[in-house]
Structure 1
Amino acid sequence: MTTSRSTTGERPLNPFIDVQKALKGASYPADKNSLIETAKANGADDEVLQRLQDLPDQQYQSPAEVSKGVGNE
Protein backbone atom coordinates (compact mmCIF):
# COMPACT_ATOMS: atom_id res chain seq x y z
CA MET A 1 0.00 0.00 0.00
CA THR A 2 1.31 3.41 -0.92
CA THR A 3 0.92 6.57 1.13
CA SER A 4 1.16 8.99 -1.76
CA ARG A 5 -1.95 10.75 -2.93
CA SER A 6 -3.24 10.55 -6.44
CA THR A 7 -5.87 12.46 -8.34
CA THR A 8 -8.00 9.31 -8.43
CA GLY A 9 -7.81 8.71 -4.66
CA GLU A 10 -10.50 9.67 -2.18
CA ARG A 11 -8.46 12.41 -0.50
CA PRO A 12 -8.07 15.89 -1.97
CA LEU A 13 -4.57 17.07 -2.75
CA ASN A 14 -5.10 20.33 -0.89
CA PRO A 15 -4.30 20.24 2.85
CA PHE A 16 -6.31 23.44 3.38
CA ILE A 17 -9.46 21.67 2.20
CA ASP A 18 -8.74 18.69 4.47
CA VAL A 19 -8.31 20.98 7.48
CA GLN A 20 -11.43 23.04 6.76
CA LYS A 21 -13.52 19.89 6.31
CA ALA A 22 -12.25 18.65 9.67
CA LEU A 23 -13.22 21.96 11.29
CA LYS A 24 -16.80 21.96 10.02
CA GLY A 25 -19.01 23.47 12.70
CA ALA A 26 -16.16 25.13 14.62
CA SER A 27 -17.04 28.32 16.48
CA TYR A 28 -14.68 31.28 16.11
CA PRO A 29 -12.75 32.75 17.75
CA ALA A 30 -11.21 29.44 18.73
CA ASP A 31 -7.95 28.39 20.33
CA LYS A 32 -5.76 25.62 18.99
CA ASN A 33 -7.02 23.03 21.48
CA SER A 34 -10.68 23.62 20.65
CA LEU A 35 -9.88 23.33 16.93
CA ILE A 36 -8.17 19.99 17.57
CA GLU A 37 -11.15 18.75 19.58
CA THR A 38 -13.54 19.79 16.80
CA ALA A 39 -11.40 17.99 14.23
CA LYS A 40 -11.31 14.83 16.34
CA ALA A 41 -15.10 14.95 16.75
CA ASN A 42 -15.39 15.23 12.96
CA GLY A 43 -13.19 12.15 12.44
CA ALA A 44 -10.10 13.96 11.14
CA ASP A 45 -7.22 11.78 10.05
CA ASP A 46 -3.77 11.81 11.66
CA GLU A 47 -2.32 14.15 9.01
CA VAL A 48 -4.93 16.82 9.66
CA LEU A 49 -4.56 16.46 13.42
CA GLN A 50 -0.80 16.86 13.09
CA ARG A 51 -1.23 20.02 11.01
CA LEU A 52 -3.45 21.44 13.74
CA GLN A 53 -0.98 20.38 16.46
CA ASP A 54 1.73 22.29 14.56
CA LEU A 55 -0.25 25.55 14.61
CA PRO A 56 0.96 28.37 16.86
CA ASP A 57 -0.86 28.36 20.19
CA GLN A 58 -3.14 31.39 19.77
CA GLN A 59 -6.73 32.46 19.15
CA TYR A 60 -7.94 32.04 15.58
CA GLN A 61 -10.61 34.48 14.46
CA SER A 62 -11.73 32.69 11.28
CA PRO A 63 -11.22 29.63 9.08
CA ALA A 64 -9.00 31.78 6.85
CA GLU A 65 -6.70 32.48 9.79
CA VAL A 66 -6.41 28.73 10.46
CA SER A 67 -5.57 28.11 6.78
CA LYS A 68 -2.90 30.81 6.96
CA GLY A 69 -1.42 29.11 10.04
CA VAL A 70 -1.43 25.71 8.34
CA GLY A 71 0.34 27.23 5.35
CA ASN A 72 3.08 28.71 7.55
CA GLU A 73 4.14 25.48 9.22
Structure 2
Amino acid sequence: MTRDRIVLAYSGGLDTSVAIGWIADQTRAEVIAVAADVGQGGEDLEVIRRRALDCGAVEAVVADVRDEYAEQYCL
Protein backbone atom coordinates (compact mmCIF):
# COMPACT_ATOMS: atom_id res chain seq x y z
CA MET A 1 0.00 0.00 0.00
CA THR A 2 1.43 3.36 -0.96
CA ARG A 3 1.26 6.31 1.37
CA ASP A 4 -0.45 9.52 0.40
CA ARG A 5 1.83 12.41 -0.52
CA ILE A 6 1.31 16.04 0.38
CA VAL A 7 3.10 18.90 -1.36
CA LEU A 8 3.97 21.78 0.97
CA ALA A 9 4.87 25.26 -0.28
CA TYR A 10 8.06 25.60 1.74
CA SER A 11 9.72 28.89 2.69
CA GLY A 12 12.49 27.44 4.81
CA GLY A 13 11.34 29.34 7.87
CA LEU A 14 10.42 28.02 11.29
CA ASP A 15 6.69 27.64 10.59
CA THR A 16 6.97 25.56 7.43
CA SER A 17 9.90 23.59 8.85
CA VAL A 18 7.80 22.54 11.85
CA ALA A 19 4.82 21.94 9.56
CA ILE A 20 6.67 19.15 7.72
CA GLY A 21 6.79 16.92 10.79
CA TRP A 22 3.37 17.97 12.04
CA ILE A 23 1.68 17.21 8.71
CA ALA A 24 3.43 13.84 8.46
CA ASP A 25 2.39 12.92 12.02
CA GLN A 26 -1.21 14.07 11.63
CA THR A 27 -1.85 12.53 8.22
CA ARG A 28 0.69 9.68 7.98
CA ALA A 29 1.43 11.04 4.51
CA GLU A 30 4.81 11.67 2.96
CA VAL A 31 5.62 15.37 2.70
CA ILE A 32 7.27 16.87 -0.36
CA ALA A 33 8.61 20.38 0.20
CA VAL A 34 8.69 22.81 -2.73
CA ALA A 35 10.44 26.17 -2.52
CA ALA A 36 10.17 28.73 -5.31
CA ASP A 37 13.18 30.69 -6.51
CA VAL A 38 11.71 34.01 -7.67
CA GLY A 39 15.08 35.75 -7.55
CA GLN A 40 14.60 36.98 -4.01
CA GLY A 41 18.21 36.50 -2.91
CA GLY A 42 18.95 36.01 0.76
CA GLU A 43 19.47 32.51 2.10
CA ASP A 44 21.12 29.90 -0.12
CA LEU A 45 18.34 27.82 -1.67
CA GLU A 46 20.38 24.62 -1.35
CA VAL A 47 20.48 25.22 2.42
CA ILE A 48 16.69 25.60 2.39
CA ARG A 49 16.32 22.36 0.40
CA ARG A 50 18.55 20.44 2.83
CA ARG A 51 16.66 21.90 5.81
CA ALA A 52 13.41 20.49 4.46
CA LEU A 53 14.97 17.04 4.18
CA ASP A 54 16.43 17.33 7.68
CA CYS A 55 12.95 18.19 8.98
CA GLY A 56 11.49 15.00 7.50
CA ALA A 57 10.43 15.78 3.94
CA VAL A 58 10.81 12.72 1.70
CA GLU A 59 11.69 15.00 -1.19
CA ALA A 60 12.64 18.68 -1.44
CA VAL A 61 12.60 20.69 -4.64
CA VAL A 62 13.65 24.24 -5.44
CA ALA A 63 11.74 25.34 -8.52
CA ASP A 64 13.38 28.04 -10.61
CA VAL A 65 10.40 30.24 -11.49
CA ARG A 66 12.30 33.50 -11.98
CA ASP A 67 11.39 33.93 -15.65
CA GLU A 68 7.72 33.11 -15.16
CA TYR A 69 7.50 35.37 -12.11
CA ALA A 70 9.10 38.30 -13.94
CA GLU A 71 6.96 37.87 -17.05
CA GLN A 72 3.63 37.27 -15.34
CA TYR A 73 3.86 39.46 -12.24
CA CYS A 74 6.50 42.13 -12.74
CA LEU A 75 6.25 43.22 -16.35
Range class of TM-score, shorter chain = 0.3 to 0.5
The structure where strand makes up a greater share of residues is 2
**Structure number, greater radius of gyration:** 2
